[in-house]
Amino acid sequence: MKKVLFIQTGFGVDVHGQDVTKAAVRAVDNAIYHNSMAGIEAMLPNEDLNNMCVTVKLAIPTDESELDIEAVKARIPFGTVTVETQRGGMVTTHGIIIPEKGDKNDLMYIVNASVEAGY
């Protein structure tokens, strides 16, 4: 990406089920769902949203190999999306194991996201 125009941040939690993808998708949704980038088309090459580049940076606490990158990319509606991961986020207890919710243990996963949009 040559020029970053917007940076949005968010976090997502999977309380039950220990699913790092669910937490990551929620983090991306949290970052982008409270923003409007009105006027971004005028800043992009050929004023085309498909010329936007989006870099999603995720701080993942564990199970990085289980992250479904395509599910994360699918949350971004326009442009070319790149996903980068790094160690971070948090694993903490949720205090109860509920097998019906998919729990394997009493941990919840928290993922932080930074979504950079530009060209």
CATH number of the domain residue 99 falls in: 3.30.1330.20
The model carries a pTM of 0.93
Find residue 60's DSSP bridge partners. Answer: 87
Using one digit for the tens of pLDDT, what is the confidence trace for 53-73? Answer: 999 999 999 999 999 999 999
Domains of the chain: total: 1
Residue tagged 């995720």 (tokens):
58
Q: What percent of the chain has pLDDT over 70?
A: 100
What is the maximum span of the chain, computed from C-alpha positions, in angstroms?
53
- Asked if residues 17 and 66 have their Cβ atoms less than 8 Å apart, the reply is no
Find residue 92's DSSP bridge partners. Answer: 108
Segments forming the whole domain that contains residue 41: 4-118
Q: Mind spelling out the 3-state secondary structure of 53-87?
A: EEEEEEEECCCHHHCCHHHHHCCCCCCEEEEEEEE
